[in-house]
Amino acid sequence: DFEGTTIGLAFLKSICSDLYSAGIIQDHNRNEIAVAATMAHEMGHNLGMSHDTEACSCSDDICIMTDTVSSVIPKEFSSCSLQSFEKFMLADMPKCLTDIPELSSIVAPPSCGNGFVEKGEECDCGAPEECTNECCDPESCKLTSGAACAHGDCCENCQYKKSGSVCRAVKHDCDLAEMCTGSSSSCPEDRFRVNGYPCNYGEGYCYMGTCPTRDSQCKAAFGPQATDGPASCYRMNERGAYYGYCRKEKGTHVPCKKKDKMCGKLFCSGGREMPRDGSLVTFDSCKASFPKSGEADPGMILDGTKCGNGMVCSQGECIYAEEVFRSTNCSAKCSGHAVCDHKLQCQCEEGWAPPNCDSSS
């Protein structure tokens, strides 16, 4: 049993963890809405959301990720919660939320008519009275005569789309388009530009499908009006204090070497008064966040962030990108019209058909 006013507990950013994707709730409130709010709060932690601070807001007086219990039942996530979730999705790319699960991973027994294609089913368009898919027999969950498929981004008029048809368009600088294979109804796994590919007009390098820059990290921390702080701010990282350092070793703040000072604490200007996570420290036109006691520091510059020409941050050091990514001339090893992706595998350029990428779609 929980003690005091605690009614729930969950691990942060654990939604895709085999061991920690869970929340414990012990709420004896007779109001179902109140219990639902507690459940949403704990799931919020699983999805990367920390408790709200005074800088957070929603249309109600209290938002779902509040750290206090009151008679008012929160019904909305705050602006901070939405930013935290967006950062979690972009920075951590939790695989269980971005992929289509394998049929073999679904634990529940198959049930024809529930709208989910499960083990032993070729399709599932719902109950007979609601099925509008001419490719699928709702009674048997089998494909109709002559149909090769019934669902999927690469299925059209009950047949596979031709090889090379774009099924997932490019979304940003560090993304690659995915093309149908001509032999499957599913769009291939989402792939990204090779790590180290220049992005955001040369301001950054692609890293695991994102384009981390100090400017974008400041906007995530202090709002859209925030910008990267002046270069003079980063001299603080050479001091080795809680407000300026490169890494921690056995609880000690290790100062940055001069060459690494752009890979330690993130310094920003403008934007909201308080950071989204942690507490605030300011001096001159520089401001940064530092964590509450015992928590991970949310205000450190992310790995993969550009810190010089051809150089990126890696664990508090500014290192040549090639040493970190090992991707030099990777695309030269690909045949046809293919380029290297973030997993150092060859992927067809948009408009060229897999698997050989030598014929246009």
Annotated binding residues: 41, 45, 51
Name the residue among 245, 227, 228 with its Cα closest to residue 236. 245
Contact 161, 154 (CB under 8 A): yes
What span, in angstroms and rounded, lies between the C-alpha atoms of 113 and 120? 13
Among 42, 121, 178, 317, the active-site one is 42
Task: Retrieve residue 145's tokens.
Answer: 């005569």
What span, in angstroms and rounded, lies between the C-alpha atoms of 89 and 13? 10
**Dihedral sign computed on CA atoms, order 342, 346, 348, 349:** positive
Mode of pairing for the β-strands spanning 306-308 and 268-269:
unpaired
What span, in angstroms and rounded, lies between the C-alpha atoms of 287 and 222? 10
Residue 288 parent element (H or E): strand 286-290
Q: Is 42 one of the catalytic residues?
A: yes
In order of 117, 141, 190, 193, the CA distances from 100 in angstroms are 11, 19, 11, 21
Tell me the one-letter amino acid at 330: C
Name the residue among 142, 207, 235 with its Cα closest to residue 342. 207
In order of 72, 219, 276, 288, the CA distances from 78 in angstroms are 15, 16, 11, 21
Return binding residues for Zn(2+): 41, 45, 51
CA angle 305, 13, 176 (to 5 degrees): 50
Residue found by looking up tokens 């890494």 in the block: 247
What span, in angstroms and rounded, lies between the C-alpha atoms of 289 and 305? 18
Residue 352's Cβ-count burial label (10 Å; 0-12, 13-18, 19+) is buried
Beta bridge partners of 192: 175
Task: Retrieve residue 215's tokens.
Answer: 């400017």
What are the residue numbers of the active site? 42
